[in-house]
Amino acid sequence: SQQGEEDPQALSIQEGENATMNCSYKTSINNLQWYRQNSGRGLVHLILIRSNEREKHSGRLRVTLDTSKKSSSLLITASRAADTASYFCATVPVGSGGSNYKLTFGKGTLLTVNP
Amino acid sequence: EPEVTQTPSHQVTQMGQEVILRCVPISNHLYFYWYRQILGQKVEFLVSFYNNEISEKSEIFDDQFSVERPDGSNFTLKIRSTKLEDSAMYFCASSRGNQPQHFGDGTRLSIL
């Protein structure tokens, strides 16, 4: 089974519109993180939300977490062409601690923002 | 802002040869990771390293793989005898524990 499945796989919107990406996971988590990856580059951390949190904001980003449904969403408001990238959710499983906080990534959503 | 740096950015190697991928994590980080991403696929965990030893490794991380932190600043991934299926982007990451991980820009490994 896959831990961290995003949908949609691809999303194309116009500049100024909002973009919503969803992530589902299967096992209990310590926290869930969202990363952005521009083509050919490394992953850039966006937001970390812990299992006891329901919503977090950072600038134009809003993340929600529903642990009962094992799902999360990332909302980017007033999108810009520079937001064009792949977006991944990644989970740290419950019980992590001490020596290891490995991330398990989903397949990602490719967001294209058209100018 | 401090960054994780990886070298080389692109490595082309003949099948069966050894490769060493290098990473300089952020200096005050204590947790180190290698991940890989085969073209068009998701990022996969390879290995985590803490307190100078491997804390977890995935099924991908077989006997051909090893990691080292030789001098307190570098963190290396060695593949002893490369296979065609080792072709991928390899990412190094570091963190301060249960905090966001910081990733390098990756090494693109091409096995011929």
A51-60 pLDDT per residue, tens: 999 999 999 9
The answer to whether the Cβ–Cβ distance between B55 and A104 falls below 8 Å is no
Burial A73-83 (b: 16+ CB within 10 A, else e): bbebeebeeeb
How far is it, in rounded angstroms, from Cα A107 to Cα A67? 20
CB atoms closer than 10 angstroms to residue B15: 13
Cα distances (Å, whole numbers) of residue B3 to A2, A8, A37, B43, B47: 30, 31, 15, 20, 20
Q: What pLDDT is stored for residue A6 in this prediction?
A: 76
Q: Which two tokens stand for residue A43?
A: 């992953």
* Chain B nearest-CA residue for A109: B42
| B51 has a chain A CB within 8 A of its CB | yes
Cα distances (Å, whole numbers) of residue A5 to A26, A59, A66, A71, B30: 9, 25, 14, 9, 29
How far is it, in rounded angstroms, from Cα A76 to Cα B22? 34
Q: What pLDDT is stored for residue A2 in this prediction?
A: 40
Phi and psi at residue A37, in whole multiples of 5°? -135, 115
pLDDT < 70: residue spans in chain B: 1
Q: What pLDDT is stored for residue A49 in this prediction?
A: 96
Q: Tell me the chain B residues in contact with residue A52 when contact means C-beta distances shorter than 8 Å.
A: none
* Facing residue for B48 by CB, picked from A41, A45, A102: A102
Cis geometry, peptide bond prior to residue A8 (ω within 30 degrees of 0)? yes
| pLDDT score of A1 more than 60 | no
Q: What pLDDT is stored for residue B94 in this prediction?
A: 96
The answer to whether the Cβ–Cβ distance between A105 and B42 falls below 8 Å is yes
Q: Tell me the chain B residues in contact with residue A31 when contact means C-beta distances shorter than 8 Å.
A: 98
| pLDDT score of A3 more than 70 | no
| B71 has a chain A CB within 8 A of its CB | no
| Strands B102-103 vs B88-95: parallel, antiparallel or unpaired | antiparallel
Look at chain B and count its residues.
112
The answer to whether the Cβ–Cβ distance between A43 and B103 falls below 8 Å is yes
Are A7 and A20 in contact by the 8 Å Cβ rule? The answer is: no
